[in-house]
A and B are shown apart, each in its own frame.
Chain A
Amino acid sequence: MSNDTPPIQTFDPMKVSKMFMARAHPGWLGLEYSAHGNNWVELKLPWNEKLLGEPDRPVLASGPIVSLLDMASGMSIWCARGTFMPVATLDLRVDYQRPAKECSAVWGRVECYRMTKSAAFVRGTAHDGDPEDTVATMAGVFMTLSADPKAVGRQIKAQAEAQAKAKETGNG
């Protein structure tokens, strides 16, 4: 995607994915790591009957696709930056080309194509197997919240706690 010299990668989406997706909304959705590059991340949303959008058809609701792309957006920003920092979604637009295939997982791939001091610009797609045949396309802007060291501290603490809890559950 980008030919720029990659930043020193202290943020590894593959390594942190288990921790990020063990809990909270990404955990509830069951998001999984799929792939990543210098400035992009692809995540997988496995098929789940609880995410149906209509009573009479086994079709994924569109809301979980926004969540998938929102999460991949955040991670693409950390990839591009090479380090973790809290971000907040400012504006997110999703165009739905077609419903996802029945009973199919959906993949969301997002790249962070531009970053300024306080904003990060992202674009991405969702597909259900063939990246060329998109289910949805997305564009978004995120604010970076790195100016608040307390927020960073809280985030690191919460993640450490979640990790300890996951470890505990694993051993139990």
Chain B
Amino acid sequence: MAEAHSLPAYAQALGISVHEIEDGAPILTVDFSADVEGRPQHYHGGAIAGLLENAAYAALRAQLVSDGREAKLKPVNITVQYLSAGKPQTSFAKARITRMGRRNANISVEAWQAERSKPIASAIMNILMA
């Protein structure tokens, strides 16, 4: 279980950690700090993308482990929608695998803060499994 939800160096350096596991997929979290700040007292768009992307990878890794598959992951693309400003609060993100193919996974991700029903950003990501 621990290995299924271990995060890469980039995620750990940014302060991202696993908040909890929900239906087999991790909810990732990051606290607000200067490391993720863009314009004063707001998350940087890139840091939010980083959180979303890590949640996508984390969900896919967990699925692969659960399926007993081993694969190198290669991102194909990410499309991020910024829905509202990221305030200086703790943020969360969770991904859902929309379609799990043999070679490609299509994944949708949402990030939120205090209220889960009001996402601050969402993303669609395609990841190749080689």
Contacts and interface: CB of A to CB of B under 8 A. Distances in A.
Interface of A: 23-29, 49-55, 61-64, 66-71, 86, 88-96, 99, 151, 154-155, 158
Given A24-B37, A24-B38, A88-B85, A93 B80 contact: yes
Contacts of B9: 49-53, 55, 61
Contact of A63 (B10, B37, B82, B85): B10
Interface in B12-30: 13-14
Given A28-B14, A67-B49, 8 more contacts: A28-B36, A51-B10, A54-B72, A70-B44, A91-B79, A92-B45, A96-B75, A154-B40
Interface of B: 6, 8-11, 13-14, 34-41, 44-47, 49-50, 53-54, 57, 72-82, 85
Contacts of A49: 9
Given A63-B54, A86-B39, A26 B80 contact: no
B119 to A, nearest CB: 14
A84 B34 CA distance: 21
B74 A63 contact: no
Contacts, number: 119
Contacts of A71: 44, 46
A94 B39 CA distance: 22
A20 to B, nearest CB: 10
B77 A95 contact: yes
A25 B49 contact: no
Contacts of B13: 50-51
A89 B45 contact: yes
B78 A62 contact: yes
Contacts of A91: 79-82
A116 B53 CA distance: 30
Contacts of B76: 95-96
A151 B40 CA distance: 9
Contact of B8 (A61, A67, A95): A61
Contacts of B82: 88-92
A142 to B, nearest CB: 9
A25 B47 contact: yes
A70 B49 contact: yes
A166 to B, nearest CB: 13
A90 B79 CA distance: 11
A67 B39 CA distance: 13
A63 B50 contact: yes
B78 A93 contact: yes
Nearest to A158: B40
B12 to A, nearest CB: 8
B53 A24 contact: no
- Nearest 9 Cβ contacts at the A-B interface: A67-B46, A63-B50, A25-B44, A89-B45, A158-B40, A61-B10, A50-B13, A24-B37, A66-B49
